[in-house]
Amino acid sequence: MTRKLFSSILSICLLFGSLYLPAQAQTQNQTPHALYSEAKACLSRHNLACAKVTLAKISSHSAYAKLLQGSIALYQQQLDESLSLLLPLQTEPNLIDTAKIDVHEYLANIFERIDDPHQALQHLITIEYMLPHSTSDNLPQIISQHQQKIWTLLNSLNQDQLLSIRGNNTDHNLQGWIDLSIAARNQDLAQSIAGWSLNYTDHPARTFGLSLTATSRAIAPQLISAHKNIAILLHSSSADEIAKANAFQSGLQSALNKYGLPNNINIYANTPAPDDNPANLDLAHQYHLAKQAGDAFLITLHPENLPDDVPPKMTEHIFHLHLALNEQTLSLIKFAKTHAIERILIIASEDAPSQDKVKDFQQTWQADADQNLHQDSLKIINLPSNIEASDTSLLELKSHIGTTKHDMILLTISARDTSIIKPHLDISTPTLAYADINDSSFEGTLNAIRFADIPFLLPSADPTFQDYHAEASALPTNELIRYFALGVDSLQLLSASGKTSDHAQIINGLTGRLSIQDHHISRQLPMARFTFDGITLE
């Protein structure tokens, strides 16, 4: 009896043991990567317990155990622990390619969560390099989905963030993605993407970039209503301001004609202000006249610091379109920083326009936090206005230049005065000037002098510029041509004002690379140089 019972128990044990052995053998035959893949599938189903059970089956010495531990920590929002586990795996040779892609995918996720888009983008770009060599099924779809991840991250960044990341990275693909993101924010999307594709003919996102133009259409005709009048409000009735306003109106009208828009343009310059200067105009009264006339777009060519008697609520509805001196200053300082300039000798004259430039350059240079300024980083020499070649101060100028330490010379004087002092300058020292040195009425030689100016007055291959050259050439001075160009750009700026966006909108305009956001407009100007064969871009 006892022997029969013992035999039955032994048979049952052998039976269940035989059932267990294949399962055990199956687990033992599974590779660490296969177990990791099982656990990854568990996490995708939000089954953390399943993932942890599978983790216990992987040797703790395996790189896949570290990878799975890192992914579990990420799932549990334990970002620091996940980061410490995953970072060393970037150079782990025992991981297959799909697992290495997972490492960078997890790291990109972590860095995006801790608000480090630069690192996140670098890991996404690394994956982009690896995907074409992957053996995954549906590879084209996987690549497309990954490119959309990159694009989503880029679209979450503003232009300053994009430029900062680009400046701190030399990777061709990463720079191409950033340039594509910036190009996609341009008002003229088709043209900007076409320019991007010419610069990045071998970029992996080229097809993706070209697809962005599929729905692009002309911006200006869509966003500005043909039934809305445009008002130009002047702050002064001086002959100079009237001439600028007329040039601006001419440029704006040319842009309207190009797009076939019949909007009317009204100039308000006939209401004197209640002060002692008969040239000053009552801007507040003009504003009310324009609103009564039904003008929808109100433009002033005056800087944003309007007179005190203009109510704050009124200024919110006025577009301040002007050519700021500081935009030139920023381009000049950018050149100095790029070339590691530390000491600058400024040669000025006694007249007000020259001194305004000196003041603006001093304030901007000293306010630049990136400058490791010497106490004597700026030296100023003031010359008489309208200096003559026989003036004795030129001898003193040559002596001052020889005894003053400087890496660059900045001229805030006219083209005429520059031609007179130029023989006394050291040709080996970079010499820069403001835009008014590009004076169409001056016929002298200013070879090798660099300056900042609007693109429309510089050599350009942009075909859109050709539409306006004939009409602009009828204006007598380059200064009026600058305001004509501003008038052309104003149509796109008015159009952009009717478009809501989380990012700045970019316009490659006649007056520079324009960025507009929340009615604030910034402008970047190119640098150019006089040569014996004319003007060339830097």
Quick: pLDDT tens for 448-488.
Answer: 999 999 999 999 867 778 889 999 999 999 999 999 999 99
Residue 248 has pLDDT above 70, yes or no: yes
Statement: 221-323+461-524 belongs to CATH 3.90.79.10: no
| 3-class DSSP assignment, residue 342 | coil
| 3-class DSSP assignment, residue 435 | helix
- At 400 the pLDDT is 85
Top-tier CATH class for 325-453: alpha beta
- At 315 the pLDDT is 59
- At 11 the pLDDT is 55
- At 101 the pLDDT is 93
**Which part of the chain is CATH 3.40.50.2300?**
221-323+461-524, 325-453
Q: Report, as an integer, the average pLDDT of 316-337.
A: 90
Query: Please, which pLDDT band fits residue 217 given cuts at 50, 70 and 90?
Result: very low
- At 214 the pLDDT is 60
Residue 219 has pLDDT above 50, yes or no: no
- At 210 the pLDDT is 85
Residue 27 has pLDDT above 60, yes or no: no
Q: Report, as an integer, the average pLDDT of 381-402.
A: 87
Q: How far apart are CA 61 and CA 99, in angstroms?
A: 16
Burial (0-12, 13-18, 19+ Cβ within 10 Å), 418: buried
Q: Report, as an integer, the average pLDDT of 105-129.
A: 94
- At 312 the pLDDT is 57
Q: For domain 28-211, give the CATH number.
A: 1.25.40.10
Query: Please, which pLDDT band fits residue 265 given cuts at 50, 70 and 90?
Result: very high
**Which part of the chain is CATH 1.25.40.10?**
28-211
Q: Give yes or no for a contact between 173 and 125, defined as CB atoms under 8 angstroms apart.
A: yes
Most confident option among 34-38, 367-371, 410-414: 410-414
Its sign, for the CA torsion 347, 350, 354, 356, is: positive
- The values of phi and psi at residue 48, to 5°, are -65, -40
Q: Report, as an integer, the average pLDDT of 384-411.
A: 88
Locate 273 and state its tokens. 């202000």
Q: How far is CA 534 from the centre of its chain?
A: 30
Q: Give yes or no for a contact between 230 and 252, defined as CB atoms under 8 angstroms apart.
A: yes
Q: Report, as an integer, the average pLDDT of 46-60.
A: 92
What digits encode the pLDDT tens for the residues 501-526? Answer: 667 788 889 999 888 877 678 899 99
- At 326 the pLDDT is 95
Residue 22 has pLDDT above 90, yes or no: no
- At 406 the pLDDT is 92
Q: How far apart are CA 353 and CA 486, in angstroms?
A: 21
| Ranges assigned E (strand) in 359-469 | 378-383, 408-411, 431-433, 450-452
**Which comes out higher in pLDDT, residue 275 or 61?**
61
Q: Report, as an integer, the average pLDDT of 48-54.
A: 93
